[in-house]
Amino acid sequence: MTPHGEPASPVVLYVCADRAPGAPGQAAQCAQTEGRAFAQERGLTISEIVTDTYGEPDPAERRGWRRVRQLVQTGHITAVLVRWPSAIAPESAHELRHRETAWLHDHGVRVRYTWAPLSSRGGEAR
């Protein structure tokens, strides 16, 4: 429940930060801590934390991002929290990021950025 007694909106926290598989490193831990704080401050409930290893530019080729899409298709989440845009796809493949955020929007799901400089400007993908 939110501080106003409303049901909390379910979201997924997507973390694509570490460059090597295995135990989460500092970048992934920071992204998770930041994402949890972002959600708590806004009355959002993280239903799942989905992780990927950074490196594959096409999100559709990543196992974790495919899980995000699956959650969206079930209608169980209202937003995807991600630290910054390059976690979805690097700047060199920005068209892939736009493809994925458009797909999410078409399914009624918002992308919200949790990194303070982006979240202070509304934290939502355009």
Q: What is the reported pTM? A: 0.85
User: For residue 85, what pLDDT is reported?
Assistant: 93
Question: Could you give the strand order of the β-sheet that contains 110-113, starting from the edge strand earlier in sequence?
Answer: 44-52, 9-16, 79-82, 110-113
pLDDT at 2 (0 to 100): 45
Residue 45 contacts residue 13 (beta carbons within 8 Å) = no
Question: Helix axis angle, 94-106 relative to 63-74, nearest 10°?
Answer: 20
pLDDT at 4: 47
Q: Which CATH code fits 9-119?
A: 3.40.50.1390
Q: What's the pLDDT at 126?
A: 47
Mean pLDDT by 10 residues, the chain (126 residues): 57 86 77 95 95 91 96 93 94 95 96 86 53
Q: How many whole angstroms separate alpha carbon 68 and alpha carbon 88?
A: 11
